[in-house]
C-alpha cells in the first residue's frame, strides 16, 4: 500500500502539462466565481492583523472584530470612490475644451503630414473616415461588452466584502480542514507553508498600498508644478492604475495627456506630463519597488511578465492584478516540496542586484555568480491545529 509509483520523465511531463491545461481551463470558465473569492482571500490576509489587534488589545469578540475590520475596509473604498466621483464630474464639464484642443493638435499633425509626406488634407480625412466606419461597426459590441463588464464589477464589489468577512470569520475552520487533508507528520510543513504564504502576500499587498500612495503624491506634485488642472485626480488615478503591472502606467500616461488639454493646447504641457510620468516610473522601478514592494518571495521578470499576460488572457485586468500574488504563493509551495523545488527555482530571481564600484552601488546582472540562500525570518506565531471548531478554541488558536 505504501509503494510509490515512479513514472518516466515523459510521463511526468505529460501529466504536468495536462494538469496545467486543466487548471487554466477551470480558471477560464469559472473566473466569475473564482476571481471574487481570490480577491477576498488577499483582502482577508491584509485585514487579519487588524482583526488580531482588535481581539488581543481591545478584547473584542471574534465576530465583532471581523465585522469592524471589514466595515473600515469598505468605508475607505467608498470614501475614495466618492472623492473621485466629484472630481470626475468636474472633469466632465471640460470635455468641450479637450475636444477643441485636440482638434488644434490634429490640425497641426495634419499640416506636418501634408508638408512632409505630401498627403493632402482630403486624403487624410478619407483615411480617418474609413477607420471611423470600421470602428462604428464594432461600437455596439464594445458598448455591450462594457455594460456587461460594469454589471459584473458591481456584483463583485458586493460579493468581495461578504466573502472577506466569511473567510476571516471561519479562518480557523479552514485551517482545520487543511490539516485534515494531510497526515500528521506533514502538519509541520503545512504550518510552515501557510505562515510564509501569509507573510509573503501581506508584505506584497502592504507594499502595493504604500507604492500607490507614493506614486499618487509624486505625480500630483509634478503635475501641480507644470500647471495641469486636475493634478490631484490624475495623480490618484495614476497611483491606482500603477497597481496593474507594466501596462497600467501606459493607460495612466495617455489619460493624463488627454486631461492636460483641459487647460491649454500648449504642447509644452504634454511634454511636461510625459517627462513627469517617465521620471516617476524611474523612481518607482529603481527605488520604491526594490525597497518597499519587494516581497519575501522574489519572482524573476520573465516569469512575472508571462504570468501577467496569462492572467490578462484568462480574466482581464483582475487576472493581471492577481497574477503576481498567485505566483508568489506557488513559489512558496514549490520551494518547500522536494519534488516541486526545481519549479520554485525556475520562478525565483537569483541574480545579484548590485555591485560596488568606488563606493557606488550599481546594477549587476551576472548570472554566473553563486546565489546566496535566503532565509525567511518571521516573528508571527505559527497557527496550531486543534480538533475543535468552537469559537473559544479558535480564539485561543488565534491568540
Q: What integer pLDDT is reported at residue 221 of this predicted model?
A: 93
Separation of alpha carbons 387 and 150, rounded Å: 44
End-to-end CA distance of the chain: 40
Number of domains in the chain: 1
Three-state secondary structure of the chain: CCCCCCCCHHHHHHHHHHHHHHHHHHHHHCHHHHHHHHHHHHHHHHHHHHHHHHHHCCCCCHHHHHHHHHHHHHHHHHHHHHHHHHHHHHHHCCHHHHHHHHHHHHHHHHHHHHHHHCCCHHHHHHHHHHHHHHHHHHHHHHHHHHHHHHHHHHHHHHHHHHHHHHHHHCHHHHHHHHHHHCCHHHHHHHHHHHHHHHHHHHHHHHHHHHHHHHHHHHHHHHHHHHCCCCHHHHHHHHHHHCCCCCCHHHHHHHHHHHHHHHCCCCHHHHHHHHHHHHHHHHHHHHHHHHHHHCCCCCECHHHHHHHHHHHHHHHHHHHHHHHHHHHHHHHHHHHCCHHHHHHHHHHECCCCCEEEECCEEEECCCCCCCCCCCCCCCCCCCCCCCCCCCHHHHHHHHC
For residues 398 and 52, the answer to whether their CB atoms sit within 8 Å is yes
> Is 67 domain-assigned?
yes
Q: What integer pLDDT is reported at residue 216 of this predicted model?
A: 92
Separation of alpha carbons 176 and 122, rounded Å: 73
The owner of cell 488639454 is 261
> Is 186 domain-assigned?
no
Q: Name the grid cell of 91.
A: 472633469
> Is 390 domain-assigned?
no
Q: What is the pTM of this model?
A: 0.72
Q: What integer pLDDT is reported at residue 162 of this predicted model?
A: 93
For residues 44 and 168, the answer to whether their CB atoms sit within 8 Å is yes
> Is 365 domain-assigned?
no
Q: What integer pLDDT is reported at residue 378 of this predicted model?
A: 45
For residues 165 and 40, the answer to whether their CB atoms sit within 8 Å is no
Closest by CA position to 304, among listed 251, 346, 339: 346
The owner of cell 519549479 is 343
For residues 204 and 326, the answer to whether their CB atoms sit within 8 Å is no
Separation of alpha carbons 295 and 204, rounded Å: 5
> Is 154 domain-assigned?
yes
**pLDDT truncated to tens, each residue of the chain (399 aa)?**
455 667 787 787 888 889 888 988 888 898 888 889 999 999 999 899 999 999 999 899 999 999 999 999 999 989 988 888 887 777 777 667 666 666 666 676 767 677 676 666 666 666 666 655 554 455 445 445 444 555 566 667 788 999 999 999 999 999 899 889 888 888 888 888 888 888 888 888 888 888 889 999 999 999 888 888 788 888 998 888 888 766 778 888 888 887 776 666 667 788 888 899 889 888 887 777 777 765 556 788 788 888 888 888 888 878 888 888 888 888 888 888 887 888 888 888 766 555 555 555 555 544 444 444 444 444 445 455 555 444 444 444 444
Task: Output the CA–CA distances (angstroms, integers) from residue 116 to 40, 111, 119, 200, in the order listed.
Answer: 55, 9, 8, 55
Range of the domain at 160: 8-180
Amino acid at each position: 500500500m505504501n509503494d510509490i509509483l515512479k513514472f518516466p520523465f515523459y510521463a511526468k511531463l505529460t501529466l504536468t502539462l495536462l494538469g496545467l491545461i486543466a487548471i487554466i481551463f477551470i480558471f477560464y470558465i469559472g473566473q466569475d466565481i473564482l476571481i471574487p473569492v481570490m480577491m477576498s482571500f488577499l483582502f482577508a490576509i491584509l485585514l487579519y492583523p487588524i482583526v488580531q489587534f482588535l481581539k488581543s488589545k481591545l478584547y473584542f469578540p471574534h465576530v465583532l472584530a471581523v465585522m469592524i475590520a471589514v466595515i473600515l475596509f469598505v468605508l475607505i473604498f467608498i470614501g475614495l470612490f466618492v472623492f473621485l466621483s466629484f472630481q470626475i464630474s468636474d472633469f466632465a464639464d471640460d470635455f468641450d475644451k479637450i475636444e477643441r484642443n485636440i482638434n488644434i493638435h490634429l490640425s497641426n499633425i495634419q499640416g506636418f503630414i501634408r508638408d512632409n509626406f505630401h498627403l493632402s488634407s482630403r486624403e487624410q480625412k478619407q483615411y480617418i473616415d474609413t477607420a471611423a466606419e470600421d470602428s462604428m461597426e464594432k461600437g455596439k459590441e464594445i458598448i455591450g461588452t462594457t455594460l456587461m463588464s460594469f454589471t459584473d464589477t458591481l456584483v463583485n464589489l458586493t460579493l468581495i466584502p461578504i466573502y472577506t468577512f466569511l473567510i476571516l470569520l471561519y479562518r480557523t475552520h479552514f485551517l482545520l480542514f487543511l490539516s485534515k487533508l494531510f497526515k500528521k507528520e506533514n502538519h509541520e510543513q503545512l504550518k510552515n507553508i501557510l505562515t510564509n504564504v501569509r507573510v509573503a502576500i501581506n508584505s506584497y499587498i502592504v507594499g502595493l498600498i504604500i507604492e500607490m500612495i507614493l506614486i499618487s503624491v509624486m505625480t500630483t506634485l509634478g503635475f501641480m508644478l507644470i500647471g495641469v488642472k486636475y493634478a490631484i485626480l490624475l495623480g490618484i488615478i495614476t497611483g491606482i492604475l500603477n497597481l496593474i503591472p507594466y501596462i497600467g502606467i501606459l493607460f495612466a500616461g495617455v489619460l493624463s495627456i488627454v486631461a492636460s488639454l483641459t487647460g491649454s493646447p500648449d504642447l509644452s504641457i504634454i511634454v511636461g506630463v510625459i517627462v513627469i510620468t517617465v521620471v516617476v516610473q524611474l523612481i518607482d522601478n529603481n527605488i520604491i519597488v526594490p525597497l518597499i514592494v519587494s516581497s519575501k518571495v522574489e519572482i524573476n521578470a520573465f516569469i512575472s511578465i508571462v504570468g501577467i499576460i496569462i492572467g490578462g488572457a484568462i480574466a482581464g485586468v483582475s487576472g493581471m492584478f492577481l497574477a503576481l500574488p498567485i505566483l508568489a504563493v506557488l513559489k512558496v509551495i514549490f520551494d518547500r516540496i522536494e519534488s516541486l523545488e526545481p519549479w520554485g527555482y525556475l520562478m525565483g530571481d537569483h541574480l545579484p542586484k548590485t555591485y560596488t564600484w568606488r563606493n557606488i552601488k550599481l546594477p549587476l546582472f551576472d548570472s554566473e555568480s553563486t546565489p546566496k540562500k535566503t532565509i525567511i525570518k518571521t516573528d508571527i506565531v505559527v497557527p496550531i491545529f486543534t480538533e475543535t471548531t468552537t469559537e473559544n478554541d479558535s480564539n485561543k488558536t488565534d491568540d
